[in-house]
């Protein structure tokens, strides 16, 4: 019995990597550095937020000035003090507790905001349904001709706002249409 041998396809897939080499042109190198530095710092910040770790990144430019760029979470100084052992354990744990408390507060605020957004979406769906019923009461397909008497107290402010927007849009459109007419010479001048 013949055995089948597996052959690997020659696809490139994710395993193909571009060769990383130094950019020779100093101007192009500086542009590449300037574009990638914020991404590097952003990734370090994401790592700190996702994993709850303290991060410091220091990068030196290869330009003639050799500028130093630094990012730290919570700060470069705090991370370096901890690295050098100048921070006592009690103080360090206090910072972690403060950070955890602040993060918990932000998460709670985010959850509250999401809940308010969902509640507003539900309220707007009810308003839309009531406006559609008011339109049906008048047998019209035009929302601005809806039966105002059929609308409730919750729908009237929304309806008024929509009417004001419609009016403003119409006034702008009328002004735009009248502007070319005002600039055109009278018809009797075209002889």
Question: Does the pLDDT value for residue 23 go beyond 70?
Answer: yes
3-state secondary structure 44-84: HHHHHHHHCCCEEEEEECCCCCCCEEEEEECCHHHHHHHHC
Mean pLDDT, rounded, for 7-17: 62
Domain-embedded: residue 109:
yes
73 shares a domain with 37: yes
Both tokens assigned to 89: 């354990």
Asked whether residue 18 is assigned to any structural domain, the reply reads no
Mean predicted lDDT score pLDDT of the chain: 78
Domain that holds residue 175: 99-179
pLDDT > 90 fraction of the chain, expressed in percent and rounded: 11
As for how many domains the chain has, the answer is 2
Assigned domain for 185 exists: no
- The reply to whether 152 falls in a domain is yes
For residues 145, 149, 150 and 154, what is the CA-based torsion angle, rounded to 10 degrees?
Answer: 100
Model pLDDT, residue 148:
74
**104 & 174 share domain:** yes
CA-only gyration radius of the chain, Å: 32
62 lies in a domain? yes
How much is the pTM?
0.39
Judge if 77 and 112 occupy the same domain.
no
Is 58 domain-assigned?
Answer: yes
Rounded Cα distance between 181 and 191, Å, is 18
Residue 107 and residue 83 in one domain: no
Running DSSP on this structure, what letter comes out for residue 153?
T
């Amino acid at each position: 019995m013949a055995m089948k041998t597996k052959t690997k396809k020659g696809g490139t897939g994710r395993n193909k990597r571009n060769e990383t080499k130094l950019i020779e042109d100093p101007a192009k190198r500086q542009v590449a550095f300037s574009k990638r530095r914020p991404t590097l710092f952003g990734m370090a910040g994401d790592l700190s937020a996702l994993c709850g770790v303290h991060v410091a990144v220091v990068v030196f430019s290869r330009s003639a000035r050799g500028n130093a760029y630094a990012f730290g979470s919570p700060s470069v100084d705090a991370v370096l003090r901890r690295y050098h052992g100048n921070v006592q354990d009690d103080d360090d744990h206090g910072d972690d507790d403060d950070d955890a408390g602040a993060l918990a507060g932000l998460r709670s605020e985010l959850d509250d905001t999401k809940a308010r957004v969902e509640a507003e979406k539900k309220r707007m769906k009810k308003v839309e349904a009531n406006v559609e019923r008011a339109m049906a009461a008048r047998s019209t397909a035009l929302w601005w001709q809806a039966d105002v008497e059929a609308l409730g107290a919750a729908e009237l402010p929304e309806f008024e706002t929509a009417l004001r927007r419609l009016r403003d849009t119409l006034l702008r459109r009328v002004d735009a249409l009248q502007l070319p007419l005002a600039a055109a010479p009278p018809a009797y001048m075209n002889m």
